[in-house]
């Protein structure tokens, strides 16, 4: 029986990474669209939902499509100056060689096997157990109570973020649109969702000169300007940062909370990288803890914090597990939230089980602890090492500056373009960072994402790279990168 199941796997998942994403699929779909004639269609690009049209999603944009094409070209024997594509564009740990943690996979596998599963189908309270484990985790993390009734499990953090953001829409147009404050640079989910909901993006710039920190004066500038166009309703903070890799200091978080209070803003704290802290002196402070400890006037503020199974040291993108802890909501709003979740149905049970292991891993003395600790420490130790490698190597290159990767999985180095490079990009009709990244890909096989996909100060140019390739592969990647960069500088002197 199991032999047969194993055989079937040859079909089902011969090439299926547990965390494989739809990138490849999307590429092929796009490529395949050109065969259908467009005339006389019910649904055309002119009469379709304009807000879907205005969405952008850089992490899986044209450069990723080109990377896929190059991989196909290599497979079909085309000669290239490199032998493989290094995908440093997407925060999928397993896709770049990290092994899944044994314990998590064991638990989820056992949950799945019908012979082993403890199955009590008449009681739907099971998910409650996982939400209690999440609450216990938060309680332990912050040293402050957490209520399982404030927690809902979602299909990855993205799903939770969209669910909360949807509540904040005013449903009106013109300058009564809901404004959502987002950092620039930001993770493209935010601009894509804001576009889809026809909300107004209120951009605040992170301070690159001060390690991508967040200046309250910039928040004030941003919101003042935005009030002409929208009703600002919420502020998104990504901490540790994506794509910027910074870890906010406690005092900085206090300043943001005060700002949110003064401006009557709902706080959305994207804290999916809370386990990914590398730099000495850096520590993760949850918005919930800081806000609660600020006491009366602050501790009752509305806050939603998001966590994921996809990041951390588990890196389980494939299960699409996540949770949202939403505190201090108006009870009527909470009722509406619950209703909107029930219409969408819950996340997959595997994703929920994976989330449980993230918040409730083996403890010292338990049989699985030693292996778990070994695997976790290896992953986190290597990430820390790779964060340093990346920062140091980029800073050693001419015309590149790179803030310390304090946390998360990314660096967002700045490219200081020569006039010649800017001129060449202008001639090609593309932003200079896009030109750079495409040249890099074609010449080295390294796939990183141009900064313009995340947003950047006008006149500055960046790219986002993950720190996820294995140490050996990353070493090779940085060598290839240096060679390319030197030749780029020579070419555009």
Contact set for a second copy, span 332-361 (CB under 8 A): 332-336, 338-353, 356-357, 360
Instruction: Tell me: does residue 121 bind a second copy (CB under 8 A).
Output: yes
d(CA 399, CA 57): 28
- Position among 143, 145, 281, 331 found at the interface with a second copy (CB under 8 A): 331
Which of the residues 45 through 74 are near a second copy (CB under 8 A)?
45, 47-53, 55, 57, 60, 68
Task: Give the binding range for a second copy (CB under 8 A) out of 222-230, 238-246, 272-280, 331-339.
Answer: 331-339
CB hemisphere CA count around 248 (13 angstroms): 29
Tokens standing for residue 427: 């001639």
d(CA 418, CA 489): 8
Helix residue ranges, H only, 368-430: 369-395, 419-428
Q: Residue 458: CB partners within 8 Å, gap ≥ 6?
A: none
Nearest distance in Å: CB 478, a second copy = 19
**For residues 48 and 420, which CB has a smaller minimum distance to a second copy in the complex?**
48
Position of tokens 């999985």?
409
Tokens standing for residue 228: 């002409």
Instruction: Tell me: does residue 382 bind a second copy (CB under 8 A).
Output: no
Query: Which DSSP letter does residue 347 get?
Result: P
**For residues 276 and 350, which CB has a smaller minimum distance to a second copy in the complex?**
350
Which of the residues 194 through 223 are near a second copy (CB under 8 A)?
196, 198
Tokens standing for residue 58: 């850089």
Nearest distance in Å: CB 177, a second copy = 12
d(CA 131, CA 141): 15
d(CA 28, CA 185): 29
Judged by DSSP in three states, 380 sits in helix
**For residues 257 and 417, which CB has a smaller minimum distance to a second copy in the complex?**
257
Nearest distance in Å: CB 363, a second copy = 10
Total of residues contacting a second copy (CB under 8 A): 156
Nearest distance in Å: CB 318, a second copy = 4
> How far does Cα 85 stand from its chain's mean position?
22
Query: 27-35 contacts: CB < 8 A, separation 24 or more?
Result: 27/64, 27/65, 27/68, 27/69, 30/65
d(CA 293, CA 273): 22
Nearest distance in Å: CB 86, a second copy = 10
Does residue 182 contact residue 194 with C-beta atoms inside 8 Å? Answer: yes
86-87 vs 446-447, strand pairing mode: parallel
Which of the residues 385 through 404 are near a second copy (CB under 8 A)?
none
d(CA 106, CA 445): 35
Does residue 19 contact residue 315 with C-beta atoms inside 8 Å? Answer: yes
Judged by DSSP in three states, 311 sits in coil
Which of the residues 412 through 431 are near a second copy (CB under 8 A)?
none
CB hemisphere CA count around 221 (13 angstroms): 9
Nearest distance in Å: CB 462, a second copy = 21
**For residues 52 and 283, which CB has a smaller minimum distance to a second copy in the complex?**
52
- Position among 9, 283, 420, 471 found at the interface with a second copy (CB under 8 A): 9
**For residues 111 and 397, which CB has a smaller minimum distance to a second copy in the complex?**
111
**Which DSSP helix (H) or strand (E) runs through 318?**
none
Does residue 319 contact residue 283 with C-beta atoms inside 8 Å? Answer: no
Write each residue from 269 to 308 as x if it is in contact with a second copy (CB under 8 A), else as -, in one continuous string. -------------------------------xxx------
**For residues 331 and 459, which CB has a smaller minimum distance to a second copy in the complex?**
331
Does residue 323 contact residue 160 with C-beta atoms inside 8 Å? Answer: yes
**For residues 125 and 281, which CB has a smaller minimum distance to a second copy in the complex?**
125
**For residues 318 and 413, which CB has a smaller minimum distance to a second copy in the complex?**
318
Which of the residues 141 through 170 are near a second copy (CB under 8 A)?
147, 149, 152-153, 155-156, 158, 162, 166-170
Does residue 463 contact residue 450 with C-beta atoms inside 8 Å? Answer: yes
Write each residue from 442 to 461 as x if it is in contact with a second copy (CB under 8 A), else as -, in one continuous string. --------------------
Instruction: Tell me: does residue 83 bind a second copy (CB under 8 A).
Output: no
Position of tokens 């967040």?
214
**For residues 51 and 210, which CB has a smaller minimum distance to a second copy in the complex?**
51
Instruction: Tell me: does residue 79 bind a second copy (CB under 8 A).
Output: no
- Position among 70, 88, 108, 437 found at the interface with a second copy (CB under 8 A): 108
Write each residue from 231 to 260 as x if it is in contact with a second copy (CB under 8 A), else as -, in one continuous string. --xx--------------------------
Position of tokens 């946390």?
407
Which of the residues 124 through 143 are near a second copy (CB under 8 A)?
124-131, 133
Nearest distance in Å: CB 315, a second copy = 11
**For residues 57 and 284, which CB has a smaller minimum distance to a second copy in the complex?**
57
């Amino acid at each position: 029986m199991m032999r047969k199941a194993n055989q079937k796997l040859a079909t089902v998942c011969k090439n299926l990474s547990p965390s494989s994403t739809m990138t490849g699929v999307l590429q092929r779909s796009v490529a395949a669209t050109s065969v259908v004639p467009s005339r006389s269609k019910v649904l055309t690009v002119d009469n379709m939902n304009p807000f879907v049209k205005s969405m952008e999603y850089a992490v899986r944009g044209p450069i990723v499509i080109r990377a896929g094409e190059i991989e196909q070209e290599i497979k079909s024997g085309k000669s290239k100056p490199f032998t493989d594509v290094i995908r440093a564009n997407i925060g999928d740990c397993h896709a770049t060689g990290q092994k899944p943690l044994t314990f998590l996979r064991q638990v989820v596998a056992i949950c799945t096997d019908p012979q082993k599963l403890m199955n009590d189908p008449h009681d739907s309270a099971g998910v409650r157990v996982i939400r209690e484990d999440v609450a216990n985790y938060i309680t332990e993390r912050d040293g402050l109570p957490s209520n399982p009734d404030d927690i809902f499990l979602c299909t990855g953090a993205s799903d939770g973020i969209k669910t909360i953001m949807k509540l904040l829409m005013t449903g009106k147009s013109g300058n009564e649109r809901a404004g959502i404050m987002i950092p620039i640079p930001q993770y493209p989910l935010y601009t894509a969702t804001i576009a889809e909901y026809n909300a107004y993006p209120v951009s605040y710039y992170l301070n690159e000169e001060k390690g991508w920190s967040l200046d309250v004066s910039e928040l004030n500038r941003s919101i003042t300007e935005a009030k002409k166009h929208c009703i600002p309703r919420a502020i998104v903070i990504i901490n540790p940062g994506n794509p910027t890799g910074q870890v906010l200091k406690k005092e900085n978080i206090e300043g943001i909370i005060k700002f949110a209070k003064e401006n009557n803003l709902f706080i959305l704290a994207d804290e999916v990288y809370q386990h990914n802290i590398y730099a000495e002196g850096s520590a993760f402070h949850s918005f919930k803890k800081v806000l609660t400890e600020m006491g009366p006037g602050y501790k009752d503020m509305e806050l939603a914090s998001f966590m994921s199974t996809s990041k951390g040291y588990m890196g389980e993108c494939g299960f699409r597990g996540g949770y949202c802890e939403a505190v201090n909501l108006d009870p009527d709003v909470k009722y509406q939230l619950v209703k909107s979740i029930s219409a969408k149905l819950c996340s997959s049970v595997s994703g929920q089980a994976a989330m449980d292991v993230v918040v409730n891993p083996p403890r010292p003395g338990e049989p699985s602890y030693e292996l778990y600790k070994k695997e976790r420490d290896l992953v986190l130790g290597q990430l820390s090492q790779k964060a340093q490698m990346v920062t140091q190597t980029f800073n050693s290159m001419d015309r590149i500056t790179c803030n310390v990767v304090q946390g998360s999985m990314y660096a967002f180095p700045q490219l200081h373009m020569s006039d010649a490079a800017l001129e060449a990009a202008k001639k090609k009709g593309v932003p200079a960072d896009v030109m750079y990244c495409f040249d890099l890909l074609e010449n080295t096989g390294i796939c990183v994402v141009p900064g313009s996909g995340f947003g950047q100060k006008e006149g500055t140019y960046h790219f986002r790279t993950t720190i996820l390739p294995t140490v050996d592969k990353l070493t090779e990647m940085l060598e290839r990168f240096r060679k390319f960069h030197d030749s780029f500088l020579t070419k555009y002197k």
